[in-house]
A and B are shown apart, each in its own frame.
Chain A
């Protein structure tokens, strides 16, 4: 481990940070973390809005066998991450929705099976290349060790592409997310956008996996966006706030993980969860305070006779 005495030093000073950044791999880790945080924040913001958190989690999980398989085959793990997630994204996006009444429960049975099989395949590859727990833990729960320059470059390039694509399709995507029927009527290519977004989500999941580990991508994809959207309903504000929170969480997690022995993914998920809880609590508090004001909303009487009938 980087420090000889684990644990955050009691006399933490700038000197410690200088010392941390004197290690090239830490510099790389922070570079990678920054890139990943921005992408995760941006794409995650849309993902939370589109209620596709479970899909995001599944795409991240699938990156694990991709990476493990790549290691076994002797190719770059980074490549494996991306191949796994993008392939899965394409499969999910392009498998035609059957009209035979497949529903939530059957779809979730399929997704659950896919997830389990992906994890099983990952452990197969790890076993085949003779990896031990450290390797496994790194892939599943994140590591900041050994991020090479090449990896940083790849992460950066993919991030630029993803962000550019997101910028280009952001507005129609937002439209299609919030108001699908009207968007379809206005000739917005909703289906193409959905497929494209899933591919972007796959790329993002693969990127984030390399910092937080395949199992904890959810934390960085969801929590900053969810927290930001609790704090403000205005899209511009919550979007910017998501990026800020994602960066803050990632930097803090990396720094703390440097000083301690525990996996980065744990810090990301814990700090992220803490931020989310604070935001949600703040929102609940604000609502309670707001409702004490005289302009309390009256219970709305139904305007149509059937308004109270329970919807089918």
Chain B
């Protein structure tokens, strides 16, 4: 009596059954590594206030991958190539890039439109083979983690683990440089080089996450676990690992949901769990804040000077 009911009633039986399928083993293996990378890199993306660049990156990833397909190259060449080039450009722009810029938004809207063109080119060129063409299009958009071959899963895992390793190596000086570039620079931290390094890592992470959850959804994998962890703790190193943990949890839960309910796309499952975790963290901390405010205001009279309760910096 394996199947949904069995899996729920006897989790370990369900787990072993689930992991009996090679494609699910590949998905879990690659997915875990990808989630680790996304959680760690995403933490810094959110901390640096550069979430919009993740949005732009998703357009670039999509268009790059489909351009490669349209020109008959390997999907990954376009995917990684475009993401890394984008990363370097963003690093070169530096602090001048800002979210609300009409120019930047227009450029990326155009790039996304180009992606639609390449998608159409590719699918009509593939119209003889029908399903393959449309499948690749959907895969790039929304991920294909359950469709990874063993070798693909291995290569994705290795790439993701390299990102994780690099992050572990440079994470601390990168954090320092992100928070406090003047002091870090005075201490000999190579701020500019680390900036480039960060965006290259982000590009690679986006490339590998596109294969898991798709170009359109990788933003969620970067933002939600990191956002949740930053709501819950202000200790940066704890938050980094918590973010990675939330990402991995979302990945596992999402894949399990996809296994139990085959009509549900795995990327939806993963993103729904990640968003749910964020929502719970958000509501929990907001409630605690409100309760604490009410409790402290009922305990003591209102303070005379607003500076005591921690207002905006400026000492007033």
Is there contact, CB below 8 Å, between A268 and B263?
A: no
Cα separation A179 to B129 with both chains bound (whole Å)? 59
Tell which of A84-92, A113-121, A163-171, A295-303 binds the partner: A113-121
A/B interface sample: 12 pairs, CB < 8 A: A53-B102, A106-B230, A112-B219, A123-B141, A123-B265, A123-B268, A127-B264, A127-B265, A216-B112, A218-B106, A223-B106, A263-B120
Residue in A98, A213, A261, A262 whose CB lies within 8 Å of B286: A98
Q: Is B52 an interface residue (CB 8 A)?
A: yes
Question: Which residue of A121, A213, A218 has the most chain B CB atoms within 10 A of its CB atom?
Answer: A218
- Name which residue of chain B comes closest to A111, CB basis: B51
Taking CB atoms and an 8 Å cut-off, the chain A residues in 90-141 that contact chain B are 98, 100, 103-106, 108-117, 119-121, 123-124, 127-128, 132-134, 136-137, 140-141
Bin the interface of chain A by size: 35 or more
Given contacts A109-B51, A115-B219, A269-B113, are A120 and B105 in contact (CB under 8 A)? no
Q: Which residues of B contact A (CB under 8 A)?
A: 46-49, 51-52, 54-55, 99-100, 102-103, 105-107, 109-110, 112-114, 116-117, 119-121, 123-124, 133-135, 137-138, 141-142, 216-224, 226-227, 230-231, 263-265, 267-268, 271-272, 274-275, 278, 282, 286, 289, 313-314
Q: Is A23 an interface residue (CB 8 A)?
A: no
List A contacts of B133 (CB < 8 A).
Answer: 133
Given contacts A109-B46, A112-B51, are A265 and B223 in contact (CB under 8 A)? no
Shortest beta-carbon distance, A283 to chain B, in Å? 12
Is there contact, CB below 8 Å, between B51 and A124?
A: no
Is there contact, CB below 8 Å, between B51 and A105?
A: yes
Shortest beta-carbon distance, A111 to chain B, in Å? 8
Q: Is A226 an interface residue (CB 8 A)?
A: yes
What is the interface of chain A mostly: helix, strand, loop, or mixed? helix
Given contacts A115-B219, A266-B120, are A273 and B227 in contact (CB under 8 A)? no
Shortest beta-carbon distance, B313 to chain A, in Å? 8
List A contacts of B265 (CB < 8 A).
Answer: 120, 123-124, 127
Given A106-B227, A223-B106, A269-B116, 10 further pairs, Cβ under 8 A = A54-B100, A109-B223, A112-B222, A113-B275, A116-B216, A116-B217, A137-B116, A215-B116, A262-B117, A270-B113
Is there contact, CB below 8 Å, between B48 and A270?
A: no
Cα separation A165 to B275 with both chains bound (whole Å)? 35
Residue in A100, A120, A213 whose CB lies within 8 Å of B272: A120
Given contacts A109-B226, A116-B224, A117-B220, are A270 and B110 in contact (CB under 8 A)? yes
Question: Which residue of A104, A109, A128, A140 has the most chain B CB atoms within 10 A of its CB atom?
Answer: A109
Residue in B105, B124, B137, B272 whose CB lies within 8 Å of A57: B105
Cα separation A57 to B102 with both chains bound (whole Å)? 12
Is there contact, CB below 8 Å, between A276 and B112?
A: no
Shortest beta-carbon distance, B143 to chain A, in Å? 9
Is there contact, CB below 8 Å, between B46 and A265?
A: no
Is there contact, CB below 8 Å, between A266 and B46?
A: no
Q: Is A51 an interface residue (CB 8 A)?
A: yes
Cα separation A166 to B207 with both chains bound (whole Å)? 43
Is there contact, CB below 8 Å, between A112 and B55?
A: yes
Question: Which residue of B52, B99, B123 has the most chain A CB atoms within 10 A of its CB atom?
Answer: B99
Shortest beta-carbon distance, B277 to chain A, in Å? 10
List B contacts of A195 (CB < 8 A).
Answer: none
Q: Is A193 an interface residue (CB 8 A)?
A: no
Cα separation A110 to B133 with both chains bound (whole Å)? 34
Cα separation A276 to B108 with both chains bound (whole Å)? 13
Is there contact, CB below 8 Å, between A123 and B289?
A: no
Q: Is A219 an interface residue (CB 8 A)?
A: yes
Cα separation A119 to B223 with both chains bound (whole Å)? 14
Residue in B121, B222, B271, B314 whose CB lies within 8 Å of A262: B121
Shortest beta-carbon distance, A46 to chain B, in Å? 14
Residue in A103, A108, A263 whose CB lies within 8 Å of B116: A263
Is there contact, CB below 8 Å, between A273 and B106?
A: yes
Cα separation A216 to B54 with both chains bound (whole Å)? 17
Is there contact, CB below 8 Å, between A268 and B113?
A: yes
